[in-house]
Structures are given as structure tokens and as C-alpha cells.
Amino acid sequence: MNLNKNFFNLEESYLFSNVAKKVANFKEENPNADIIKLGIGDVTLPLCTAVVEELQKAVLEMGKKESFRGYGPEQGYDFLREKVKGYYKEKGVDLEVEEIFISDGAKSDIANILDIFDKDNSVLIPDPVYPVYVDTNVMAGRKIEYLCANKENNFLPLPTKDLRGSIIYLCSPNNPTGSVYDREQLKQWVDFAIENSAVILFDAAYESFIEDEELPRSIFEIDGAKKCAIEFCSFSKMAGFTGTRCGYTVVPMSLEFGGVKLNRLWLRRQTTKFNGVPYIVQRGAAAVFSKEGMEQIKENLNYYKENARIISKALEELGIYYTGGKNSPYIWLKCPNDMGSWEFFDYLLKEANVVGTPGSGFGKNGEGFFRLTAFGDRQNTIEAVRRISDLSF
């Protein structure tokens, strides 16, 4: 019996366990320290009332013979796919229901989509970025080329003439850098993908944080994208579904390679390996798109966005370079005084009792940078910012 040896090529990620260990040690040595965590990438506000009410109704339906449901369609119920279609329509994107696949969150589909691509494809992944893109390709034994995201390109790498790759990952708004591609930049990637017969895997998990109407919230707002892109989206950050689990993936009918529609391959993959998202959860997700649901999630999103503004404003006053903070829940800052990522982590923990995430945990180019998030409590965010502003760098 042979194991998948590619697993041995995975780099151990000690990022969050190291953060937790360091915080626990500090707490042991300083039991009275009031530690504020601005490192978390998870939401903290509860599900909105419109969603909770729909979830409760669906639970009751499941308890009655007349309305009980067993296995549902693997690609999701039409009542939710129709709502997603309507959501895209508002962004000016026309989709067919068959192009929308309901998932249990973006992470699974981002990983599972690789089933439909041959191992011998070259892969382009930005550095720094959400680590799942790298690890899933390492598990499959693919070769990865990194797209350097850095201060010079505002953490938004663009295609160059000599670049080659068949599978391209883009994440906008980006985790961890908070950077957002504009239309012209995304058009460059779409043109590149079409010219190179490549596919773009576009992660739009944070699209709901985009406020600037000039910025695209879907790659399908860009001409030609339906011929070269798959988009992954999620209710996690948009509506607090990180623990409830629901998302959606769009595979356009016009996306073909060698005359084969990727939509058909993905449908075959999903109907074989996935049995759908729970009916109850899909009912809750559909409520996000109701009038009340939209108003209520906007209130929660505005809460996080205001936290992001508070953090960004303080960094501006301190003269610290950062990206994100606008159109994103993430603030990605250059560690002051050329400190390394972990050096700054230790400094901030010791001097301000504030916890963030070292940028080096997201890729080589993250060294010297640091991620703060807007998902915390308002008073804690204000207090953390006050303490950071009081430090002498």
C-alpha cells in the first residue's frame, strides 16, 4: 500500500498554533494583561434575525411528514440558485441557474475543483495568499509558480509577457492583504488567460466588503471572463455563515477546453462525490437575499467596515504603509522600523497586549508585514488602536 507522498511535501503551518502558544505563554507570565485579539479571520457577530427565522421554519418543516425532505439536488435547490442568480443580476451579470452550484463553503469547492484538471498543469498562485490554494496543489503533486505580490505592485500582481500557467488563482478582495483588483487589472488577467488557454480560479469570498462602485465584485463583470473563469463565493463573511456553512460556485456554460464544458465535468464531479448542502441551511442562506436579510447583513458588514476604518485611520496618522482597510476586512501593514513579522508580533503583544497575524505565515513575500482584521468587537478595536498609537516606533 502506497501513501500519497505529496503530503510529505506540504509545509507544516505553525502560524495559528504558534500565535496561540505565544499568547498562552504571555498570559501565563502576565496573568493580569488585558489581551486584545485583532488577528482573527472569523466573524464575531451572530446570524441576522431574517436568517434565524428561516432556519427555524425549515427545522419545523423537516419534523413534519408532509414537508420532510430527504436527499436534495447535489447542486443545490433552485430556490437558492435563483436568489444567487438575482444577486448577480444586480451586479450586471447574467447567469443561468445551471451555472450556479451551491456548496458547503468556498474552501471545499476551491479544493475540490482540482479534480477536473490534469495533474500536469502549471499553476500560478500569488504570494502572499490564502494558504489553501498552495496546499491543495501540493497534495495533488502540481508544480507551483508564485506571483510576487509586494509593495511595488500594491500587492496586486499582474501578468507579464514571459509568464506561463494553466491554472491561475486570484483572490480579490485579497486575504491577507486586503488589496482589490480594479476592472482594468482584471481585464489584463482575463486577456492573459484567454491567450494562454488558462483557467482563472477567482475567489470572491470577500466581495460583500466592496463599497467602491468602480471596483468589480465578480470577475464576470469583466468582458471575456465567462470564457476563462470559475468564481467561488461564500456566505461565511457576507452573512456570518462560517459555522453554518454555505457558499456557491459559478462555472459558466461558455467555459470550454478542447470542446468540453467545465460545467459538465464539475456537475459530474459533484453528483458523484457530494450530496448537497442541508435543506435547512439553504433556506437560511436564501433569507440573506430577502429585503430584511439584506438590510440586516449590511448592518453587520458596516460594523466590520467601521472597525476597518478605525484601524486604517490610526495607521495613516502613524505614517505606516498599509493596504486594505477599505473594501476589505483586512488591514495589511508594513512592520515599523523594518521589524520582521514575528518580531513585530512579539513587540505588539508585549508592549500593547495586542495580537495580530504575522504576514510571513501567508507566504515568503509576507515577511516584514502584519495582518490586522476588522472582525473584532468595536470597543476592543478602539482600545487596541489607542494602545498601538501610544507606542513609539
**Sites of contact with ligand PLP (CB under 6 A):** 41, 105-107, 130, 171, 175, 203, 205, 234, 236, 242, 247
Q: Which is nearer to ligand PLP, 36 or 106 (CB)?
A: 106
CB of 247 to ligand PLP, least distance (A): 4
How far apart CA 289 and CA 50 sit, in angstroms, is: 10
CB of 216 to ligand PLP, least distance (A): 16
Q: Which is nearer to ligand PLP, 336 or 358 (CB)?
A: 358
Cell triple for 119:
495533474
Helix (H, G, I), strand (E, B) or coil at 14: coil
CB of 14 to ligand PLP, least distance (A): 18
Closest C-alpha among 76, 123, 85 to residue 220: 85
Closest C-alpha among 178, 244, 184, 229 to residue 205: 178
Residue 51: left if φ>0, alpha if ψ -120 to 50, beta else—which one?
A: alpha
Q: Cell 461564500 sits at which residue? A: 234
CB of 119 to ligand PLP, least distance (A): 23
Report the largest interatomic distance among the alpha carbons of the chain, rounded to a whole angstrom. Answer: 67
How far apart CA 113 and CA 269 sit, in angstroms, is: 9
CB of 79 to ligand PLP, least distance (A): 20
How far apart CA 55 and CA 287 sit, in angstroms, is: 9
Q: Cell 509593495 sits at which residue? A: 151
Q: Which is nearer to ligand PLP, 102 or 314 (CB)?
A: 102
Q: Which is nearer to ligand PLP, 336 or 356 (CB)?
A: 356
Q: Which is nearer to ligand PLP, 126 or 336 (CB)?
A: 126
Q: Cell 475540490 sits at which residue? A: 112
CB of 393 to ligand PLP, least distance (A): 29
How far apart CA 295 and CA 274 sit, in angstroms, is: 32
CB of 144 to ligand PLP, least distance (A): 17
Q: Which is nearer to ligand PLP, 311 or 388 (CB)?
A: 311
Q: Which is nearer to ligand PLP, 40 or 320 (CB)?
A: 40
Output b/e per residue, 5-34; b: 16+ Cβ within 10 A.
eeeeeeeeeebeeebeebbeebeeeeeeee
How far apart CA 83 and CA 194 sit, in angstroms, is: 30
